[in-house]
Amino acid sequence: MANLQKVAFYTLGCKLNFSETSTIARSFKSEGFQRVEFSEEADIYVINTCSVTENADKRFKTIVKQAQKANEDAFVIAIGCYAQLKPEELADVNGVDLVLGATEKFKITDYLNDLTKQGFAEIHSCEIEDADFYESAYSFGDRTRAFLKVQDGCDYKCTYCTIPLARGISRSDNLQNVLNNASEIAAKGIKEIVLTGVNIGDYGKGEFGDKKHEHTFLDLVKALDEVEGINRLRISSIEPNLLKNETIDFVAQSNSFVPHFHIPLQSGSNHILKAMRRRYMRELYVEKVSQIKTVMPNACIGVDVIVGFPGETEEYFLETYNFLNELDISYLHVFSYSERENTPAAEMEHVVPLSTRKKRSKMLRGLSAKKRRAFYESQLETTHTVLFEGENKEGYIHGFTENYVKVKTPWNPELVNTLHQIKLDKIDEDGIVRFTYNEPEFAN
């Protein structure tokens, strides 16, 4: 259908969603559609939704309104986790024309024969059990680094989480396909690849459509480290119980994997971890952090933590606060617990008042700022490699070192998507690090 109809995309949520939007956008391109920015006038608007985002429903309505403002006659399509979990709710939003569930989102171009607005939305959803097959994806062209999907779904049963209900069972891409995608991305001049999925430490499960583990996450890491042309490989987020010491040791001596680990903790209280039905106790978390810091002292460690989970007394919260305060970590991502339908936690007693959740969240974000500053200070006067991004932010170009220190320098378009050796000098008032080049040809 070679027509120059215009399509625009809006993605909510995680790196996995961005990799899938980018892949779906490429399928539109191969059908002859022209991709435009979401703020521009388009014939079709595709919104890739998230079920974890705070106020996901309000966000979705605002985005639909934005599309309608750009072109009130446009065909609006909702895909993604929220579309799988609550198709009727999205279909009821004024302006939505089509809602596709998990099994249909990659077949979206099959639904474009008739783009006339009917005044109501068609729903093509499914039982999540039907979404047991794997769709490969990676992001390209939207950012400096590419998000490479290697795994989807999750078999864990954390009591606060809806992701298994939105994305289905744990399943993986076959190893050769991942390596091919990585080579393809590298050939496009992308310098950094971020491995993404839902529970990537479970990589290998369902690789060939069954429950068996053909390969492990460590096999994947070792194989990717051999791929020609990739400068950097970053592990997005990995469960502590699935981050094997062998993997940590391998990353420490690898060619391309960077010393940056993002490891969900969720709580520093074993009592709360049990109620969350997490698969480790805090002692294992301490062991992982010390293993990393032993073999990679300059490694960056990011931590996900939830505050206000049902039953989290002041005492349990302070246990989490003190636990994190004592741990050699670099920053926190703090989430306020919010009830999700069809999750066991939503039925639990001892609900923590919203104001308390807010107060605790503020305290942990304060702790995160302190940790990040301490980590950045520990890196001053040391040499690193920076990958510059592509945006001119108030006259500056930003970039990240391999160990995730954010740096900046006056805007220079020649630096976009380039790697440079630098020495970290000082932390600016905005918390971003200034540096000097460690390359004679790049005199300061």
* Site residues for ligand SF4 per CB under 6 A: 154, 156, 158, 161, 163-164, 198-199, 239
Burial annotation 360-371 (CB, 10 A radius, 16+ → b, else e):
bbebbeebbeeb
Minimum CB distance to ligand SF4 smaller for 180 or for 270: 270
What is the spatial distance between Cα 155 and Cα 312, in angstroms, rounded to a whole number?
25
Minimum CB distance to ligand SF4 smaller for 159 or for 256: 159
Minimum CB distance to ligand SF4 smaller for 198 or for 433: 198
CB of 175 to ligand SF4, least distance (A): 22
Please report where in the chains the tokens 């970053």 appear, as a residue.
234
Minimum CB distance to ligand SF4 smaller for 204 or for 259: 204
CB 293 within 8 A of CB 252: no
CB 191 within 8 A of CB 10: no
Minimum CB distance to ligand SF4 smaller for 280 or for 437: 280
CA distances from 423 to 192, 382, 415 (A): 20, 6, 16
* Residue 239, φ and ψ in degrees, nearest 5: -60, 140
Length, in residues, of the chain: 444
Please report where in the chains the tokens 């956008």 appear, as a residue.
25
CB of 20 to ligand SF4, least distance (A): 16
What is the spatial distance between Cα 120 and Cα 122, in angstroms, rounded to a whole number?
7
Please report the DSSP string for 327-372 in residue order.
S---EEEEEE----TT-GGGG-SSPPPHHHHHHHHHHHHHHHHHHH
CB of 348 to ligand SF4, least distance (A): 16
CB of 280 to ligand SF4, least distance (A): 11
Q: Taking CA 202 as the corner, what is the angle to CA 201 and CA 205, rounded to the nearest 5 degrees?
A: 150
CB of 130 to ligand SF4, least distance (A): 19
DSSP H or E segment with residue 410:
strand 406-410
CB of 176 to ligand SF4, least distance (A): 26
Please report where in the chains the tokens 């636990």 appear, as a residue.
323
Minimum CB distance to ligand SF4 smaller for 165 or for 286: 165
Minimum CB distance to ligand SF4 smaller for 50 or for 163: 163
DSSP H or E segment with residue 21:
helix 15-30
CB of 164 to ligand SF4, least distance (A): 5
The pair of three-digit structure tokens given for residue 59, joined into one six-digit string: 């966000």
Question: For residue 273, what are the contacts with CB-CB under 8 A and spacing of at least 6?
Answer: 266, 267, 280, 281, 282
Minimum CB distance to ligand SF4 smaller for 67 or for 243: 243
Minimum CB distance to ligand SF4 smaller for 198 or for 233: 198
CB of 211 to ligand SF4, least distance (A): 16
CB of 308 to ligand SF4, least distance (A): 16
What is the spatial distance between Cα 421 and Cα 13, in angstroms, rounded to a whole number?
32
